[in-house]
Amino acid sequence: MRKPAFSGETSRLADSVPGRVQGGPETRRRFPFSALTRRIIFFNTIALLVMTVGVVIVQSGRVGLIDERLDAIREQALIVASTLAEYTTDENTRDINLAEAEPLLRQLIEPTRLRARFYGRDGKLALDTRNLLARNLVEKRDLPSLDRWEQLKGLFSRVYDGMMGVRPFDKLAPYIEAGNDGRAYREVLYAYSGDTAAAERVDEDNKLILSVAVPVQRFREIYGVLLVSSEGGDIDSILREERATLMEVFLVAFAVMVVLSFYLAGFVARPVRRLAAAADRVRRGRLGRESIPQMEDRHDEISDLANSLSGMTRALYHRIDAIERFAADVAHELKNPLTSLKSAVEMLMRTKDEAAREHMIEIVRDDVKRIDRLISDISDASRVDAEMSREHSEPVALVHLLETIVEVYRFSEEPTSAHIVLDLNLPRNAIVLGRDERLGQVFRNLIDNAVSFSPEGGTVKIAAVAEGKRARITVDDEGPGIPPDNLETIFERFYTERPPGHDFGTNSGLGLSIARQIVISVGGSIYAENRQDPDGKTIGARFTVMLPIRNPR
């Protein structure tokens, strides 16, 4: 019955995860909201503030609004002045009929929020809608407050107006009531020369007043000047209303942003916290083997992270189980030769027969060789796993590697009892990503195993052929074959059933296991089968290795 060299685990853990000494759940500072929640709210708030400031800057078209307001006042003033010139002028006296002009001026100005004053040819005030309209009969003014709190509120209001563009911080000319003399206003003087002029001033309450002076003329004859001005603070009120509306929109947007941020943070941060807590429980391991929560219903990156952590945890548990099994197998395999060695030493001490003593010494020698072989192979198996997880893969020329290995066997100082044949049908530039010494170890193990089962003078054939993007390498021998039930078992650790007459203690049963471990680490596969002749008789065993071929560039 054939005795395979060895079987190994089909999976390995690429990275170990050391326990966290600092910053763990026991020492991590807890906040009411997670760091992710705080960042989401912070950056959303910054974005909202930038948008709001941009809107304020764009709408700080206070100058634009003033210009528009001045244009509107100018248009209204021109309409009123042309109407007065058309219907109330007397060409003979070259004067305005005030009796006709008064009701007409009142009717034209009443629908607006403006004040109109008409100055005659001598610059004296002739008509003032403040004295003609009912809305101006009672004048209301805010007296300065003596309360400290009210003064602070006024200061805050002025600062707010300046920041929001309602009231500029620059200085404007003060507005004064000129009484009956209209020539006190610069724009009125310009109007007497036939031009239309405008002015911006602030009253004693720091309210903006816009005024436009238009000459009342007909056929180039100037009959007087019409001064149309806004009431104090109406522009400010419009701007304040706009800014108040903008602030209301900002507050609503901020509330919506906070709610959505909390929802988004909960949607992202809460499951991440669950995953972190589960990972901490896995690390502590106080309640047995914890599992990572599954979130397959999310269908997003968090679900992918949960699946990855779950798979990593299962691989970790599998690795722990493999280490436990390996330790148990090592203890069992070492115990057998140690028990035999102990018995041989005891018999050696008791027997006086020289032949029996020589036999006991031979047993002791064989057991020591077996223990030495076991320790070497166990160390090699452990080192392979560490190297596969630590070292980087390099391009390996598969054809050159196989030719070199076969040449080493052919020209070895201790030639094998079997003839080795190499049949290559691979491109010369066939490349496999891995470690050349480890891939070479795979084929050496397979060749050693085939030679040990081949009869004296038999043939071991190594064939390699390209199949698409994979290389298929087979190692055939002419031995007794493998029992069908053991085609997979031979890859288990310490499976060491050798043919009769094979040197005792020269095989530990780890060779095939190490070979499978290396092949799987480079993305390949390995399996065993029996070769049969046309009559169905077993004529030897075949080990097949499938390796991915990479682009030679």
Q: Which helix (H) or strand (E) holds 316?
A: helix 301-350
Q: Which two tokens stand for residue 60?
A: 């700080």
Please give the Cα distance from 345 to 258 (Å, whole number): 82
Paired residues of 386 in beta bridges: none
Question: Of residues 287 and 464, which shows the higher confidence score?
Answer: 464
Q: Per mean pLDDT, which range of 31-35, 190-194, 212-216 is the poorest?
A: 31-35
| pLDDT for res 165 | 52
> For residues 445 and 522, is the Cβ–Cβ distance under 8 A?
no
Is the CATH number 1.10.3720.10 carried by domain 64-136+143-243?
no
Please give the Cα distance from 102 to 457 (Å, whole number): 137
> For residues 521 and 471, is the Cβ–Cβ distance under 8 A?
no
Confidence of residue 507 (pLDDT cuts 50, 70, 90): low
Mean pLDDT of 64-70: 78
Q: Does position 545 have pLDDT exceeding 90, yes or no? A: yes
Residue-range domain boundaries for the chain: 1-13+392-553, 64-136+143-243, 283-390
Mean pLDDT of 208-227: 89
Please give the Cα distance from 384 to 8 (Å, whole number): 11
Please give the Cα distance from 14 to 270 (Å, whole number): 29
Q: Does position 76 have pLDDT exceeding 80, yes or no? A: yes
Confidence of residue 547 (pLDDT cuts 50, 70, 90): very high
CATH topology of domain 1-13+392-553: Heat Shock Protein 90 (3.30.565)
Confidence of residue 391 (pLDDT cuts 50, 70, 90): low
Mean pLDDT of 442-446: 90
Q: What is the mean pLDDT of the chain?
A: 77
Question: Of residues 415 and 233, which shows the higher confidence score?
Answer: 233
Mean pLDDT of 237-246: 71
| pLDDT for res 316 | 82
Query: DSSP letters of 456-483?
Result: TT-EEEEEEEEETTEEEEEEE--SS---
CA-nearest of 278, 283, 275, 262 to 302 is 275
Instruction: Domain 283-390: give its CATH code.
Output: 1.10.287
| pLDDT for res 167 | 52
Q: Which two tokens stand for residue 147?
A: 């309360």
> For residues 211 and 199, is the Cβ–Cβ distance under 8 A?
yes
Pairing of strands 89-90, 95-96: antiparallel
Question: Of residues 508 and 121, which shows the higher confidence score?
Answer: 121
Q: Per mean pLDDT, which range of 197-201, 214-218, 263-267, 352-356 is the poorest?
A: 263-267
Question: Of residues 498 and 355, which shows the higher confidence score?
Answer: 355
Mean pLDDT of 523-533: 91
Question: Of residues 159 and 220, which shows the higher confidence score?
Answer: 220
* Pure H helices in 125-233: 148-163, 186-192
Backbone angles phi, psi at 463, to 5 degrees: -120, 140
